[in-house]
Amino acid sequence: MTGLKNAKRIVFKVGTSTLTYSTGKTNIRRMAKLVSVLSDLLNQGKEIVLVTSGAIGVGVGKLGLKERPKDTPGRQAAACIGQCELMFMYDKFFSEYSHTIGQLLITKSDVENDERRNNLINAFNTMFEYGAIPIVNENDSVAVEEIVYGDNDSLSAIVAKLIGADALVILTDIDGLFDGNPQSDIDARLIPVVDEITPEIKALAGDAGTNRGTGGMITKLNAAEISTGAGIDTVIMCGTDPTDIYKLFDGHQIGTFFIGKKGDNNG
């Protein structure tokens, strides 16, 4: 039986293409809906972490730039600006439901350093004790090429593993993993359940991200490989209508469900 009915600690990941319009401006309606669903799950007693992209995309929109800067300092500056705007919006929307958020900006070196990793875990756990929602992004303004995760799909899986999450839900702009390209092949079918991420499964991922975000299906499969390897059930589903998240917790089939490997490998 797949479904996340019994999951208590859940990491959600939302990408730039879900959070912004092609103009680069924030999709306020979608963000508001997402926050309302997550707030409702919190009210049920679940512990939620939101890994959000959008800092660079929203910064680009706010600055009125025609495209993402190609140079690192340009992207870092855009992230500084967009991150503020993102957190302002999340704070405003979550406050409407009397929920408290906190920001965690993470770099790869924070996770790889024992002391900083422990500090991070302590911060997450104390946030949960306070009933607050950790909102996570990569610290794009200081993460340079050599130390960057680069995509929040991987970051969300690392975070899920770090905090011993029960589930990871990656929201994207297609319905899940297909056995062909749904944009060009009308016979392409959604794969409802994957019990092992084999090279054949990976070969099904195209490599396209959007010009607002990064990633594409392959980074999501890489993330699912990390999380399922740590025993964490993982779902890739469409975030266009965030109320679809309810279906997942009502035990209905939605998106592609990657079964977490249960056993002694949850390290």
* Residues 153-212 contacting ligand GLU, CB under 6 A: none
**Residue 140 or 233 with smaller CB distance to ligand GLU:** 140
Determine, following the binding rule CB under 6 A, whether residue 61 of this chain makes contact with ligand GLU: no
How many C-beta neighbours within 10 Å does residue 187 have? Answer: 8
Determine, following the binding rule CB under 6 A, whether residue 47 of this chain makes contact with ligand GLU: no
The two three-digit tokens of residue 107, written as one number? 């770099």
> What would the x/- binding string for ligand GLU be over residues 120 to 159, using CB under 6 A?
-----------------xx-x----------xx-------
> Which of 27, 141, 172, 214 is close enough to bind ligand GLU by CB under 6 A?
214
Q: Is the Cα dihedral 182, 171, 92, 140 positive or negative?
A: negative
> Which of 24, 215, 216, 239 is close enough to bind ligand GLU by CB under 6 A?
215
Strand partners, 20: 26
- For 32, the 3-state DSSP assignment is helix
**Residue 140 or 225 with smaller CB distance to ligand GLU:** 140
Dihedral pair phi/psi, residue 220, rounded to 5°: -75, -40
Contacts of 202 (CB under 8 A, 6+ apart): 218, 221
Determine, following the binding rule CB under 6 A, whether residue 2 of this chain makes contact with ligand GLU: no
Determine, following the binding rule CB under 6 A, whether residue 231 of this chain makes contact with ligand GLU: no
- Contacts with ligand GLU by CB under 6 A: the residue count is 16
Give helix then strand counts, H and E, for the chain: 10, 8
Rounded Cα distance, 211 and 104, in Å:
25
Residues lying near ligand GLU in the complex (CB under 6 A): 15-16, 53-57, 79, 137-138, 140, 151-152, 213-215
